[in-house]
Amino acid sequence: MSYIKFDVKMSTDPNSIIYICMYSFMSCITRNIKMTILTTILVISKLLLFFSKFSTAADTISQSGSLSDGSTLISKDGTFELGFFSPGNSPNRYVGIWYKNIPVKTVVWVANRDNPSKDNSSKLIINNEGNLVLLSNNQSLLWSTNTTKKTSIPIVQLLDNGNLVLRDEKDNESDEDSFLWQSFDYPDNTILPGMKIGWDKKSGINRGFNAWKTWEDPSSGNFTSGMRLGIIPEMFIWKDSVEIFRTGPFSNVFALQENPLYGYEFVNNEDEVYYIYTLKNSSVITILVLNQTLLLRQRLIWIPESKAWNVYQNFPQDRCDDYNICGANGNCIIGGSPICKCLDGFKPKSSQRWNAMDWTQGCVRSGNWTCGDKSRDGFLKLVKMKVPDTKNCWVNEIMTLDECKVKCLQNCSCTAYSTLNPMEGSIGCSIWFDDLVDLRGSESGQDLYVRIDTSDIRKNFTTFLNSTI
């Protein structure tokens, strides 16, 4: 250490002594300031280095790390956040994903919805088998990704689209085929843009979504929506496994009309069948939500100016959307009084119940229809119809509409036919057998040809085609 050396004997001048003391004092202060600044710079540099490393890893969990209650993951673009939360006044703790920059906390996915933590001591880790697991304080398992796929360096990442994925560190985060597990395969009560609603036929995964029991209880409720597999897949809404609403075939584009907010796609091949929507404008935030209170599937849009979610669309929309409200062979007409009417050539199965506005028993044939009698066996053409439930349906993708008619006439169980895909002209054939269920008019609907006794038609109101080939 350097220091000032002086000899008092050299001078007895009081001023000189004062000067020397002041110089020594100021030198000490200067040295201390320099050391303090240097120390501060070193500390700040270390902090910046630490937070720099932390921010670049804030969207991932590695096998050597963990996520405790109070910590969060944030997607790279800052849109989504994953962490622990308690809904409403519930004391339970859940791991969920929500929009980070929306002041109204909107949880879009919950990991342990059916097995909450009872305190804030649980944490997320990647275990030795490579699964993401949620463990309680006593190391009991609360939730797991439960995948049998293995990798050498597993990591968990929260992507910018809100998808939580388990993948190998060396794989590309945009390569969906390399994911070992993803939350998009296990929807909660919300469908985000880019999520698939439907089935992975190879793995058997059903990507349906399920409402919360209550707004304070995210456990699986009895109000669900998803894709029903069949010859013609259709989207349904169920309550206690009972149909509440049916979209109709996707080729019928019922409830899927062009709009400025989002585009949609329907895919049906040997590997999977699903519906997906994507945003036309990335600045718009819109989601599909199951509202268990109102028993509605709602499309919501975030309005930044009012800081609130607005309802863009509800399903069911009206009473005619209620599944099969008019019963078999009954047609629902909005604005009608009553709204239910038997198809021409049909009558109420129970006039007493029908007149009491109980339409559940539906309608039966009213005439003396005889299969194959060319003088009476024909078809009633209904325009702009949501076609019947396709559960009892047969299709052919290359038949013309005339060939479809012939095919129907050859089978006495055939009750109606239509074009399979009206958006592609008159190519393709759909044929229905037995009762026609869940009929209604729709501006986006198509022509439906119902088999009836043509001698019993009220000609002033309908158009019919006889069986002449």
Q: How far apart are CA 65 and CA 200, in angstroms?
A: 32
Q: What pLDDT is attached to residue 55?
A: 40
Q: What pLDDT is attached to residue 49?
A: 43
Q: What pLDDT is attached to residue 22?
A: 52
Q: What pLDDT is attached to residue 69?
A: 96
Amino acid residing at 6: F
Map out the domains of the chain as residue ranges: 8-56, 60-320, 321-465
Q: How confident is the model at residue 174 (pLDDT cuts 50, 70, 90)?
A: confident
Q: What pLDDT is attached to residue 282?
A: 87
CB distance 400 to 368 below 8 Å: no
Amino acid residing at 213: K
CB distance 228 to 237 below 8 Å: no
For residue range 142-173, list pLDDT tens digits in order. Answer: 999 999 998 999 999 999 999 999 999 999 88
Question: Taking residues 251-259, what's their average pLDDT?
Answer: 62
Bigger pLDDT: 454 or 391? Answer: 391
Residue tagged 């009084």 (tokens): 337
Percent of the chain with pLDDT over 70: 83
Q: What pLDDT is attached to residue 466?
A: 40
Q: How far apart are CA 181 and CA 273, in angstroms?
A: 19
Q: How confident is the model at residue 457 (pLDDT cuts 50, 70, 90)?
A: low
For residue range 270-290, list pLDDT tens digits in order. Answer: 999 999 999 999 899 999 999
The distance between the two most distant Cα atoms of the chain, rounded to a whole number of Å, is 143
Q: How confident is the model at residue 374 (pLDDT cuts 50, 70, 90)?
A: confident
CB distance 147 to 157 below 8 Å: no
Q: How confident is the model at residue 444 (pLDDT cuts 50, 70, 90)?
A: confident
Question: Taking residues 122-141, what's their average pLDDT?
Answer: 96
pLDDT score of 331 more than 90: yes
60-320: CATH topology is Agglutinin, subunit A (2.90.10)
CB atoms within 10 A of CB 121: 13
Q: What pLDDT is attached to residue 18?
A: 46
Closest CA to 419 of 271, 235, 253: 253
Q: How confident is the model at residue 408 (pLDDT cuts 50, 70, 90)?
A: very high
Closest CA to 453 of 394, 384, 391, 365: 365
Q: What pLDDT is attached to residue 367?
A: 75
Instruction: Read off the pTM.
Output: 0.82
Amino acid residing at 390: T
Q: What pLDDT is attached to residue 260?
A: 86
CB distance 209 to 191 below 8 Å: yes
Q: Which two tokens stand for residue 337?
A: 């009084």
Mean of pLDDT over the chain: 86
For residue range 95-106, list pLDDT tens digits in order. Answer: 999 999 999 999
For residue range 417-434, list pLDDT tens digits in order. Answer: 999 988 767 789 999 999
Q: What pLDDT is attached to residue 259?
A: 83
Amino acid residing at 142: L
Q: How confident is the model at residue 48 (pLDDT cuts 50, 70, 90)?
A: very low
Percent of the chain with pLDDT over 90: 72
pLDDT score of 460 more than 50: no
Q: What pLDDT is attached to residue 15?
A: 52
pLDDT score of 235 more than 60: yes
3-state secondary structure the chain: CCCCCCCHHHCCCHHHHHHHHHHHHHHHHHHHHHHHHHHHHHHHHHHHHHHHHHHHCCCEEECCCEEEECECEECCCCCEEEEEECCCCCCCEEEEEEECCCCCCCEEEECCCCCCECCCCCEEEECCCCCEEEECCCCCEEEECCCCCCCCCEEEEECCCCCEEEEECCCCCCCHHHCCEEHHHCCCCEECCCCEEEEECCCCEEECEEEEEECCEEEEEEEEEEEECCCCCEEEEEECCEEEEEEEEHHHCCCCCCCCCEEEEEEECCCEEEEEEEECCCCCCEEEEEECCCCEEEEEEEECCCCEEEEEEEECCCHHHCCCCCCCCEEECCCCCCCEEECCCEEECCHHHHHCCCCCCCEEECCCCCCCCCCCEEEEEEEEEECCCHHHEEEEEEEEHHHHHHHHHCCCCEEEEEECCHHHCCEEEEEEECCCCCEEECCCCEEEEEEEEHHHCCCCCCEEECCCC
CB atoms within 10 A of CB 433: 16
pLDDT score of 28 more than 60: no
Residue tagged 């076609």 (tokens): 387
Q: How confident is the model at residue 4 (pLDDT cuts 50, 70, 90)?
A: very low
pLDDT score of 411 more than 90: yes
